[in-house]
Amino acid sequence: MKPVVQQLITVVGVLLGAGATFAGAALTERSKWRRTQRSRWDDRRLVAYSDFANALKRFAEVSMRMAAGRGFPNAGQPISAEDGAELLAEAASEKS
């Protein structure tokens, strides 16, 4: 009877060790996956913010050129209101 009990205790110990190893590996991989996904999202967010900032910059540049065309002091090249309206519409669509 005694060898059966020892073998049973050994089997239970091996099963507990295997379960603990599996749980530890699964938690480690899960945290690594989450960290990777978070960094990917941050990269996408950075690209989106950069694109939006460039669109706002273009919108402001066209607006300043239109203001220079109407005689306001500005460092930009003057542009007519008609041409500026088309460029402003394009810049607004890029922004949105």
List the pLDDT tens digit at each of the 96 positions of the chain: 688 888 999 999 999 999 999 999 999 999 999 988 887 777 788 888 999 999 999 988 888 888 888 888 776 788 888 888 888 888 888 877
Boundaries of every domain in the chain: 2-95
For residue 75, the model assigns a pLDDT of 66
The tokens of 79 are what?
A: 């542009």
For residue 89, the model assigns a pLDDT of 86
* Cβ(76)–Cβ(93) below 8 Å: no
Tally of CA atoms within 13 A in the half-sphere of 11 that contains its CB: 6
| 3-state SS class at 96 | coil
> Cβ neighbours of residue 78 under 8 Å, at least 6 residues apart?
65, 68, 69
For residue 41, the model assigns a pLDDT of 77
Distance, in Å, from the CA atom of 88 to the CA atom of 86, rounded to the nearest integer, reads 5
